[in-house]
Chains A and B, each alone.
Chain A
Amino acid sequence: MNDNIRVIEGSETGFATTRVDALLGWARKYSLFQYPFVTACCGMEFMSLASGRFDMARFGAEAPRFTPRQADLLWVVGTVSQRQAPILKMVYDQMAEPKYVLAFGTCASCGGFYDNYATVPGIDKVIPVDVYVPGCPPRPEGVIDGLLLLQDKIQTGDRTPAIVKPRTDPVPASEGLVPLRKQA
């Protein structure tokens, strides 16, 4: 951000200047219409992410579209088999520009442990990917990191692939496990 930005207060009138691409980026990153391409167990984690507890809607990624033609962001959630690859490609081709792809989980990113005749070793073999979220399945926090990373990339117009870095456990190892519930 530059230092010249000043917030207009009260009844004061005026105008703000920006660049068109920055404005477009800002508009795009907070209105991601998504198309969930859910093929496997990561879908459970996706449901958790999309519903109230982790609430993806907070980040402007609220409305799932059930046609790729209306979607900006393709979530590829889970293992993609060779037999499914043409379908994924068709879905991707149907999306309108600008379009973004997020590989959710290790299987979508690199095939995971399905190192065999039936599985595509990562959807980037078929379609370009913007953000990879590793994990089997990834924690919802990790996916939110991925979504924020994608939003940053949309804002700056950066289309190089990126990967979500693992989080470190904030608790020192000496303290052991974190109690999730208080003992009665």
Chain B
Amino acid sequence: MSRDVLDQLVQRFDDAVLATHDQFGDETALITADVWHEAAVFLRDDLVCSMDHFIDLTAVDFADRRTPRFEVVLHLRSSERLHRIRLKAPVGLGPGGENPQVDSLVDVWKGANWFERECYDMFGVEFVGHPDLRRILMYEQFEGHPLRKDYDAHRTQPLVPYREGYEKLQPFGLPQGMPFGRQTHDRWKTAVAGRPEDAGATNLLGFEED
């Protein structure tokens, strides 16, 4: 249905469109980050596309599996023509994917404002030209970006120092925590690895090893 939109994009941006695919009615275009803003304006204003509904904006962290490391994902819809499109752009060309940057879309769709702030908060993607790029969910003192793959899953940054000198009551203590929780799992792994007869059987639950 929105094959037209993809055709329009390819026709207009040519080489800047890296790839397109169309699966189960969801059309996706992978474009270069430098035409990100231009493509957004085109999709909104072009009469065939007429994307007036900003749905979602987020990012994906591929860690060291891919270069550039991040991919910014944008979902759009047209309320006139009732079609949708997904737009993706790889960002973060620097060493280790540091300082990923992409143009802000706040001047194209106002609603992008908080989505871009969230994306900045969670992934550290910088949106150039955003009027107020602050953290939106985490607190200002928070260091790092929690949804990046290299953020330690165990790391918390309490604002109030934790109380000391008390024991968690059963069943809230660690040994009887959630049966599938990370901490329980790690303890279980350690326990199993300590028994010689279970050597090599540390992945019985089928979790992917780091």
Q: Chain A interface (Cβ within 8 Å of chain B)?
A: 82-83, 85-86, 89, 109-110, 113, 115-118, 120-122, 124-128, 132, 134, 161-163
Query: Within the assembled complex, what's the spacing in Å between the Cα atoms of A117 and B159?
Result: 12
For the complex, is B65 an interface residue (Cβ under 8 Å from A)? no
Chain A residues contacting B162 (CB-CB under 8 Å) are 125-126
Q: Does B163 lie within 8 Å of A128, measured CB to CB?
A: yes
For the complex, is B24 an interface residue (Cβ under 8 Å from A)? no
For the complex, is B18 an interface residue (Cβ under 8 Å from A)? no
For the complex, is B177 an interface residue (Cβ under 8 Å from A)? yes
- Top 8 nearest A-B pairs (CB, nearest first) are A110-B172, A117-B146, A125-B162, A85-B160, A83-B139, A163-B169, A86-B159, A89-B160
Query: Within the assembled complex, what's the spacing in Å between the Cα atoms of A113 and B155?
Result: 16
Give the shortest distance, in Å, between A106 (CB) and chain B (any CB).
Answer: 8
Q: What are some 11 contacts across the A-B interface (CB < 8 A)? A: A82-B158, A83-B137, A110-B168, A115-B181, A116-B153, A122-B168, A124-B163, A124-B168, A126-B162, A128-B163, A132-B172
Q: Does B177 lie within 8 Å of A117, measured CB to CB?
A: no
Q: What interface size band does chain B fall in?
A: 20 to 34
Which of B153, B157, B171 contacts A82, CB < 8 Å? B157
Query: Within the assembled complex, what's the spacing in Å between the Cα atoms of A104 and B162?
Result: 20
Chain B residues contacting A163 (CB-CB under 8 Å) are 169-170, 172
Q: Does B139 lie within 8 Å of A82, measured CB to CB?
A: yes
Give the shortest distance, in Å, between B28 (CB) and chain A (any CB).
Answer: 29
Q: CB-nearest residue of chain B relative to A88?
A: B160
Query: Within the assembled complex, what's the spacing in Å between the Cα atoms of A83 and B166?
Result: 23
Chain A residues contacting B169 (CB-CB under 8 Å) are 132, 161-163
Q: CB-nearest residue of chain A relative to B171?
A: A134
Query: Within the assembled complex, what's the spacing in Å between the Cα atoms of A82 and B182?
Result: 19
Query: Within the assembled complex, what's the spacing in Å between the Cα atoms of A78 and B29?
Result: 41
Query: Within the assembled complex, what's the spacing in Å between the Cα atoms of A120 and B163?
Result: 12
Chain A residues contacting B158 (CB-CB under 8 Å) are 82, 85, 120, 125
Chain B interface main SS type? loop
For the complex, is B183 an interface residue (Cβ under 8 Å from A)? yes
Give the shortest distance, in Å, between A86 (CB) and chain B (any CB).
Answer: 5
Q: Does B183 lie within 8 Å of A115, measured CB to CB?
A: yes
Q: Chain B interface (Cβ within 8 Å of chain A)?
A: 137-139, 146, 151, 153, 155-160, 162-163, 166, 168-172, 177-178, 181-183
Chain A residues contacting B139 (CB-CB under 8 Å) are 82-83
Chain A residues contacting B155 (CB-CB under 8 Å) are 117
Which of A83, A115, A125 contacts B138, CB < 8 Å? A83
18 additional contacts (CB under 8 A) given A122-B172, A132-B172: A82-B139, A82-B156, A82-B158, A83-B139, A86-B159, A113-B181, A115-B181, A115-B182, A117-B155, A117-B157, A120-B158, A121-B156, A122-B168, A124-B166, A126-B160, A126-B163, A128-B163, A134-B171
Q: Does B168 lie within 8 Å of A113, measured CB to CB?
A: no
Chain B residues contacting A89 (CB-CB under 8 Å) are 160
Give the shortest distance, in Å, between B187 (CB) and chain A (any CB).
Answer: 13
Give the shortest distance, in Å, between B153 (CB) and chain A (any CB).
Answer: 8
Give the shortest distance, in Å, between A84 (CB) and chain B (any CB).
Answer: 9
Query: Within the assembled complex, what's the spacing in Å between the Cα atoms of A20 and B131?
Result: 64
Give the shortest distance, in Å, between A4 (CB) and chain B (any CB).
Answer: 36
Chain A residues contacting B171 (CB-CB under 8 Å) are 134
Give the shortest distance, in Å, between B59 (CB) and chain A (any CB).
Answer: 17
Chain A residues contacting B181 (CB-CB under 8 Å) are 113, 115
Give the shortest distance, in Å, between A180 (CB) and chain B (any CB).
Answer: 28
Which of A82, A113, A125 contacts B178, CB < 8 Å? A113
